Amino acid sequence: MKLSFRVNRREVTVATATDRRLIDLLREDLGLTGTKEGCGEGECGACTILLDGQAVNSCLIYASQISGKSVTTIEGLATENLHPLQRAFIEKGAIQCGFCTPGFIMSAYALLAKHVDPSEDQIRWELSGNLCRCTGYTKIIAAVRYAAKLLRE
């Protein structure tokens, strides 16, 4: 099937199988390898992207479901400079191996689009679908709080 959608502020049309997963289309066909596959079952959040502004697990979405929609991946956040969330994760040491980081950042981005000054409980709730096996979550939460502050300024 031919599929037209918007990815990272750019219109694309691709031919793909109807049962192809979005994560595979993004990584293999479009070269957007920042989105990682952890579990392939929607449990870890490593593959989180934004679909029409909502954080979703791209391993659970069929490519055929995104026709006419807008997809944002970690590559779509930065323009000429890193996005404040990306900078915050670096500055606050919220990155260890980095495998889960894109998913955390995309989930946090969706949160900060709704709440400019989220509480720690809101951050914890919104990030609860993302797993990190290297860090505790303290630095990740601190990074999101710091990014919220940067975005408000």
| Averaged pLDDT, groups of 10, the chain, 153 residues long | 96 95 98 96 97 98 96 94 95 93 98 96 97 90 97 93
pLDDT given for residue 73 in this prediction: 98
pLDDT given for residue 79 in this prediction: 85
Domains in the chain, start-ordered, CATH in brackets? 2-76 (3.10.20.30), 84-152 (1.10.150.120)
Going by C-alpha positions, the residue among 71, 67, 47 that lies closest to residue 58 is: 47
Distance separating alpha carbons of residues 14 and 29, to the nearest angstrom: 8
Distance separating alpha carbons of residues 36 and 58, to the nearest angstrom: 9
Q: What share of the chain is helix, strand, coil (3-state, %, to 5)?
A: 40, 15, 45
- CB distance 41 to 21 below 8 Å: no
Residue 138 host element (H or E)? helix 138-152
- CB distance 123 to 108 below 8 Å: yes
pLDDT given for residue 107 in this prediction: 98
pLDDT given for residue 96 in this prediction: 87
- What contacts 24+ positions apart, CB below 8 Å, involve 78-83? 83/109
pLDDT given for residue 92 in this prediction: 96
| Single-letter amino acid code for the residue at 99 | F
- CB distance 14 to 25 below 8 Å: yes
Structure tokens at 4: 């037209």
